[in-house]
Chain A
Amino acid sequence: MAHIALPEDLPGISSAFAFRPETAKPMRELAHVLLHEPNSLTPGERELIATYVSSQNDCYFCQTSHGAAAASHLGGDDVVQRVKADFKSAPVSPKLKALLAIAGKVQRDGKLVTAEDVERARHEGASDVEIHDTVLIAAAFCMYNRYVDGLDTWQPRENGMYAQMGQHLAEHGYLKSSR
C-alpha cells in the first residue's frame, strides 16, 4: 500500500500525478521536452537513457514503462535489455555509449562527470545540447524514480500493461494521462 492515500486504480507515477495535479503539470512538461520533442537525439535514444538511469536506480515502474516506450520507438525490446545489462556491448552508436557513461555518472553524483567523459562524447559527435540533455535526463530520472519509490506507489508486475503504456507514450508523449 502506498505511504499516502493515492488513487488506488492508477499505477506508479500516474497515481502521484493524480494526487497532486499542481506538481504533475511541470513534471509532465519537463518529460515531454526531454524525451518527446524534436531533438538531434531520437526519442528512442533518449528513452534508453531514461531507462538505463531508472534501472541503475532500481525503480521497477520507471525502467519498465520507459523501457517499453524505448522498445516501441526502436521496434523491439532486445536493445533495451542489452543497454540495461551492459550498454558498452549493446548495439547502439559510440556516441550514445559515451552519453550513457555520462548519464551513469550523473545517476551517482553530478560531480563524478569528468572533462574526459565530456571530451569523449564530443569526439563521438555529441553536441553541447545533447550533452546538456543527457545530464538533465539522468538528473530528472533521479527525481522521478525517487518520487515513484519514495511514495511506495503501486508498481504492478504485468508486462502487457507496460507495453500498452510504452506505446502510448511513444506516440503521444507526456503532456496528458494515458487513462
Chain B
Amino acid sequence: MPHIALPEGQPGIRGAMSFRPETARPLNALVEVLLRAPNSLSPGERELIATYVSYLNDCHYCQSIHGAIAAAHLNSDEELVRRVKADFLYAGISEKMKALLVIASKVQRGGKHVTTGDVAQARDLGATDTEIHDTVLIAAAFCMYNRYVDGLATVQPRDEAMYRERGKMVARDGYVNVSKTYLPAEPVKR
C-alpha cells in the first residue's frame, strides 16, 4: 500500500502524478524533452539509458515501463533491453552508447564519479557535448523519478503484458500527451 492516499488504479508514477498535478506537469515536460524531443541520440537509445539507470536503482516500475518503451522504439527487441541491463558492454549497441552508459552509471552513484577520462572516451567515440549533457541529465533525472516512485511506495504491478502495452502507447503518443489521460486539464493562466 502506498505511504500516502494516492488515487487507486494508477500504478507507479501515475498515481503520484495524479495526486499532485502541479509537480506532474514539469516532471512530464522534462522527460518529454529528455527522452522524446528530436535529438541526435534516438528515442530508443535515450530510453535505454533511462532503463539502465532505473535498473541500477532497482526501481521495478521505472525499469519495466522504460524498458518496454525502449523496446517499442527498437523494433520490439526486448532481448536487447535485457542485455543492456545484464551487461551493456556485450550488448548490440554502438561503442558511443557504451561510453555514454559508463557515464550514466557513474552519475547514478554520484556525479563526482564522472572523470575527464570517461568524457574523453565518449567524445573519441563521437559523442557531442549535448549528448554528454543529456546523458548526465537523463541519469540524474532517473535518480529522481526512481526515488519518487519507490519513496512513496507506489503500486508496481508484476505484469509484463501491462508494461508492454503501455510502453507501445507511450512510444507512440509521448509522455505529455499520455499524461492528459490522467491529469486534470491545465488551468488557464491569468
Q: With A3-B119, A150-B140 as given contacts, are A139 and B147 in contact (CB-CB < 8 Å)?
A: yes
A sample of 9 more A-B contacts (CB under 8 A), given A113-B3, A118-B3, is A3-B119, A5-B129, A22-B37, A25-B29, A105-B151, A109-B57, A110-B146, A143-B143, A150-B140
Cβ of B111 within 8 Å of any chain A Cβ, yes or no, is yes
| A118 nearest CB neighbor, chain B only | B3
Contact across chains for A106 and B26 when beta carbons are under 8 A apart: no
- Identify the stretch in B90-98, B131-139, B157-165 within 8 Å (CB) of chain A at 4 or more residues: B131-139
Give the A-B contact count at a CB cut-off of 8 A.
Answer: 151
CB-based contact B112/A149 at 8 Å: yes
Tell whether, in the assembled complex, residue A19 and residue B16 are in contact, meaning their CB atoms are under 8 Å apart: no
- Is A33 in contact with B23, judged by CB distance below 8 angstroms? yes
Known A-B contacts A139-B145, A143-B140; the reply to A110 vs B59 at CB < 8 A is yes
The answer to whether the Cβ of A78 comes within 8 Å of any Cβ in the partner chain is no
Chain A: interface residue total (CB-CB under 8 A):
50
Give 17 A-B contacts (CB < 8 Å), ordered by A residue.
Answer: A23-B34, A23-B137, A26-B27, A29-B29, A57-B110, A59-B111, A109-B57, A109-B150, A113-B3, A128-B4, A128-B19, A136-B148, A139-B145, A142-B147, A147-B111, A150-B112, A151-B136
B79 within 8 A of A: no
CB distance from B150 to the nearest CB of A (A): 3
